[in-house]
Amino acid sequence: MDLDLDRTLALAYVPAKRRSAVGALWRLDSALGAALAGGREPMISRIKLAWWREALEKLDREPAPAEPVLQELAEHVLPAALGGEELARMEAGWAILADPEPLAPDALAAYARARGALFFRYTARLLGGDEDGIEPDGEAWALVDLARHCATAEDSDIALAAARERNLKRRWPSRLRPLGMLAALAARDLEPGRLPWEARGAPARMWRMLRHRISGY
């Protein structure tokens, strides 16, 4: 499962001894998103996501099946004190998006928590840093990512407005800056006048990531 260019670049700044675990976690998020991609039948998407949830839960008690992301998780993430049941909680955020109805504010908030906040908390744990206080950044990141994929400008604006309500972390410690790079890019996307969207991995985004790596802002 490939990562988008922003995450591919951020992953390159993760210390080598932690890169396999962080990469596996990030590819899990991409795999869960792929379960929704191109799905015109919400029930099909829900079935795919349910399969992932059950497969992740089984990692705590059974060997990983012949699925590359699950095997990566079993090899690199589970030994790093992050269990299958915890990983399975990430599915709930994506499952909310399988509902064909427009997202109500409470559903949007639940998506942001279950996908973004957990994604940031788990990544921080794998990086060996403090997990506290980074949930709003994770929620904003997930909401901006959702806005990038919305079918209509109206839905995108709603997701962006929700992201702007989060109080984002000011300065990131060195250990967490590969993760902070994603938060910095989300904050960049939230700046007035940024639309249309910058391409992921664009030179200006690479410079923003490098600035964050040096300064923590």
| pLDDT on residue 168 | 82
| pLDDT on residue 173 | 95
* Overall pTM surpassing 0.85 (yes/no): yes
Half-sphere exposure of 6 (CA within 13 A, CB side): 20
pLDDT in tens, 40-93: 688 899 999 999 999 999 999 999 999 999 999 999 999 998 999 999 999 999
For helices 203-215 and 177-189, give the axis angle rounded to 10 degrees. Answer: 130
Q: What percent of the chain has pLDDT over 90?
A: 83
Q: Residue 195: pLDDT above 90?
A: no
pLDDT-derived band at 194 (thresholds 50, 70, 90) equals: confident
pLDDT-derived band at 151 (thresholds 50, 70, 90) equals: confident
Quick one: which of 4, 2, 6 has its CA closest to 206? 6
pLDDT in tens, 15-44: 999 999 999 999 999 999 999 876 668 889
Determine the average pLDDT of the residues in 92-120. 93
Domain ranges of the chain: 5-215
Q: What percent of the chain has pLDDT over 70?
A: 99
